[in-house]
A = this chain, B = another copy of it.
């Protein structure tokens, strides 16, 4: 069994990005500039956004954090989005989700200029992804593709079973791994809450992507010998003995599944660190495409 070291791969890619920024600046081009809009004070969201801003600083991007009260009106948020669309100094930006309930998140996503939509959530980017056209890939699926690529895991002709059909992970991963590209060219089965005989299906898989958000759901008897297992789960489970007060639990029963695998991602340190990396790569693309 080999561990897919997402932390190491993420740092490697971020190092490559830092070098690319230096080359850009040396060639007289501008530093990529990411803006993040954070509404309210949700603990998870604050942590994620701060990590994104810190990563930008670390690799030499400019970054701008815009914090709005959770009482902000939808109209005011849409105006903020419009200002970022029009601000030539900003290459790409994100609006951190979730948003307060009085705001229509889909409306906000669709207000973002697709050319600055570095989260890849705008329908134009989703459609371009499905059509295999240049676009911003959503960060987590993008990260999964890169884990497979950097570990030189062959995907062509393999049977990949994706568990979970969310719009931000399961569904796009299933599209990306099926398309005629490298990594890709998998036979892909997309499973979800209505799937019957799930264990029968996962036992036929060469590659399993578990993205359903139920801790330790994937058990050893659901996995065949030699499978590649990608664990997207990051459920916070209370753990008073830790400094943060919680532990991240993956969707895979790692202790028992890992011995059967050819490759497996740990949680934490697998897919998670790649998410910010995908965002940083999209921001560079946005700067290059401008």
Please classify how large the interface on chain A is, using the bins under 10, 10 to 19, 20 to 34, 35 or more.
35 or more
Question: Judging by beta carbons under 8 Å apart, are B133 and A194 in contact?
Answer: no
Question: Judging by beta carbons under 8 Å apart, are A187 and B180 in contact?
Answer: no
User: Using Cβ atoms and an 8 Å threshold, which residues of chain B touch A172?
Assistant: 130
Question: Judging by beta carbons under 8 Å apart, are A122 and B130 in contact?
Answer: no
Question: Judging by beta carbons under 8 Å apart, are B127 and A171 in contact?
Answer: no
Tell me, rounded to whole Å, the shortest Cβ–Cβ distance linking A169 to chain B: 13
Counting from the closest, the 7 A-B pairs by CB-CB distance are A127-B127, A123-B127, A126-B127, A189-B189, A187-B195, A185-B194, A123-B128
| Nearest chain B residue, comparing its CB with the CB of A125 | B127
User: Using Cβ atoms and an 8 Å threshold, which residues of chain B touch A156?
Assistant: 194
Q: Does A83 interact with chain B (Cβ within 8 Å)?
A: no
Question: What 0/1 pattern do residues 154 to 189 of A give for CB contact below 8 A with B?
Answer: 001101000001010001101100111000011111
| Nearest chain B residue, comparing its CB with the CB of A201 | B187
A130-B133 contact, Cβ under 8 Å, with A165-B179, A175-B175, A196-B187: no
Q: Does A131 interact with chain B (Cβ within 8 Å)?
A: yes
Tell me, rounded to whole Å, the shortest Cβ–Cβ distance linking A183 to chain B: 12
Query: Can you sample 24 A-B contacts with CB below 8 Å?
Result: A122-B127, A123-B131, A124-B124, A125-B127, A126-B131, A127-B130, A130-B130, A130-B171, A131-B167, A156-B194, A157-B195, A157-B196, A159-B201, A165-B179, A174-B178, A175-B175, A178-B190, A187-B189, A187-B194, A187-B195, A187-B196, A188-B190, A189-B189, A190-B190
Q: Does A192 interact with chain B (Cβ within 8 Å)?
A: yes
Question: Judging by beta carbons under 8 Å apart, are A187 and B191 in contact?
Answer: yes
Complex CA gap A172/B172 in Å reads 13
Given A123-B130, A178-B190, A180-B192, 11 other A-B residues pairs in contact with their CB atoms under 8 A: A106-B133, A123-B128, A126-B126, A127-B129, A130-B130, A157-B196, A165-B180, A186-B194, A187-B189, A187-B192, A187-B195
Question: Judging by beta carbons under 8 Å apart, are B192 and A189 in contact?
Answer: no
User: Using Cβ atoms and an 8 Å threshold, which residues of chain B touch A187?
Assistant: 189-192, 194-196, 201
User: Using Cβ atoms and an 8 Å threshold, which residues of chain B touch A175?
Assistant: 130, 171, 175
Tell me, rounded to whole Å, the shortest Cβ–Cβ distance linking A54 to chain B: 31
| Nearest chain B residue, comparing its CB with the CB of A122 | B127
Tell me, rounded to whole Å, the shortest Cβ–Cβ distance linking A148 to chain B: 15
| Nearest chain B residue, comparing its CB with the CB of A156 | B194
Tell me, rounded to whole Å, the shortest Cβ–Cβ distance linking A207 to chain B: 13
User: Using Cβ atoms and an 8 Å threshold, which residues of chain B touch A192?
Assistant: 178, 180, 185, 187
Question: Judging by beta carbons under 8 Å apart, are B165 and A178 in contact?
Answer: yes
User: Using Cβ atoms and an 8 Å threshold, which residues of chain B touch A167?
Assistant: 130-132
Complex CA gap A68/B194 in Å reads 49
User: Using Cβ atoms and an 8 Å threshold, which residues of chain B touch A174?
Assistant: 178, 190
